[in-house]
Amino acid sequence: MPISKQVTLARRPEAHVDSSVLRIDEVTVSEPADGEVLIRNLVFSLDPYMRPRMDDEASYIEPFAVGAPLEGGAVGEVIASRVPGIETGSHVIHMAGWREYALLPGKAVRRLEPSDHPLSYHLGVLGMPGLTAYAGLVSVAGLGRGESLFVSSAAGTVGSLAGQMAKLLGAGRVIGSAGSPQKVSYVRDELGFDAVIDYRATPIMDSLGRAAADGGIDVYFDNVGGDHFAAALSHLNDFGRVVMCGTISSYDDPATRTIPGNLFDIVRKRLRIAGLYVNDHVATAGDFSRDVGQWLRDGKLEVREVKFQGLESAPEAFFGLLRGDHTGKVLVEL
């Protein structure tokens, strides 16, 4: 029976997360019973939505339990199986990341077919973040050809993919926001956005107004909330749409959970605002796999990954994700 290290939620954060919130534990993992598989994790994902799950608040997904390991997307190798059709040595994707080994029922894993893509892509462009970006544009916003899009956190995983996909789907103009000159250059020069705002350099309300002066905004893909949301309301066109994917600006600082003063713009412009939860859009997965697979084969999607090594690196890598230190999909390899 293997000994497995895992990242455990030691206590609920009072405001900002720090090293006292997470700890590294060692546990003994049992051999699989009938209907179970034992997985050695190879890589797992760090995502912003994991921060709200540390709080004891009602949401679309259960909060993490204090004293239990964190959870998140992971890809691993099956080292023992008592599930027909899931052979030892096969690769599977599941939600028991943040640990070295995972013992799971067969229904909690999905077997991955061999492909030319790195296994880590199933946690990013080919996985939940990619489907989030695609479904937000296609199913939630109904982005039309020639329409303009504003994407916040454009250097992050979902934002970078949403902007690129929008161009491939026929958007007329794509504007992004990022938090440093280096990220601005990456989003503009490598991802192909038409305009990129450094929101730390100038107030977002003013800089978005200049970027959107020629035609306004038809769709806002929101990963940030706060001042970005308020600025988007001011510069959206009549009958514009907002895809509410995340509000990372307030995840680690409850004091920033403010209500914009221009909410009447929603009424005045007849805007449509919809929350995006990726599990509501599994019916889109077939189209997503077809389109994104083709875009990757054609070299039309830029993918950047930031990889940390070893389970012990996960807490600080996650804190850096919340601070905006990283550019691209953040992963931990084991």
Query: What's the CATH fold of domain 3-124+304-333?
Result: Quinone Oxidoreductase; Chain A, domain 1 (3.90.180)
Containing 316, the helix (H) or strand (E) segment is helix 314-323
Structure tokens at 63: 């909060």
Torsion of CA 231, 236, 242, 245, to 10 degrees: -40
Residue 305, SS3 per DSSP: strand
Query: What's the CATH fold of domain 128-279?
Result: Rossmann fold (3.40.50)
Q: What is the DSSP string of 118-155?
A: -GGGGGTTTSHHHHHHHHIIIIII-PPTT-EEEESSTT
- 35 neighbors 84 (Cβ within 8 angstroms): no
Percent composition of the chain: helix, strand, coil (DSSP 3-state, to 5): 35, 25, 40
Q: Which residues contact 297 (CB under 8 A, 6 or more apart)?
A: none
Residue 43, SS3 per DSSP: strand
Domain boundaries, the chain: 3-124+304-333, 128-279
Torsion of CA 3, 6, 11, 17, to 10 degrees: 150
Count of CB atoms situated within 10 Å of the CB of 302: 15
Residue with tokens 């893909």: 221
pLDDT at 255: 66
| Amino acid sitting at position 43 | V
Q: Which of 260, 257, 251 is nearest to 220 (CA)?
A: 260
User: Which DSSP state fits 176?
Assistant: E
Q: What is the DSSP string of 185-234?
A: HIIIIIT--SEEEETTTS-HHHHHHHHTTTT-EEEEEESS-HHHHHHHHH
Containing 27, the helix (H) or strand (E) segment is strand 22-28
According to DSSP, the residues that pair with 275 across neighbouring strands are 244
CA 145 → CA 5, 112, 173, 232, 235, distances in Å? 49, 34, 10, 20, 19
Structure tokens at 113: 């077919």
Specify burial of residue 179 (Cβ count, 10 A radius: 0-12, 13-18, 19+): buried
Q: Which of 30, 11, 20, 16 is nearest to 68 (CA)?
A: 11
Count of CB atoms situated within 10 Å of the CB of 275: 13
Pairwise CA distance, residues 269 & 112, whole Å? 45
Which alpha helices (DSSP H) does 11-135 contain, by range? Answer: 128-135
* Digitized pLDDT (tens) for each residue of the chain, 334 residues in all: 789 999 999 999 987 888 999 999 999 999 999 999 999 999 999 999 999 899 888 777 889 999 999 999 999 999 999 999 999 999 999 999 999 999 999 999 999 988 889 999 999 999 999 999 999 999 999 999 999 999 999 999 999 999 999 999 999 999 999 999 999 999 999 999 999 999 999 999 999 999 999 899 999 999 999 999 999 999 999 999 999 998 887 676 666 677 788 889 999 999 999 999 998 998 999 999 999 999 999 999 999 999 999 999 999 999 999 998 999 999 999 9
Q: Using only C-alpha atoms, what is the Rg of the chain?
A: 20
Q: Which of 59, 240, 217, 214 is nearest to 152 (CA)?
A: 217
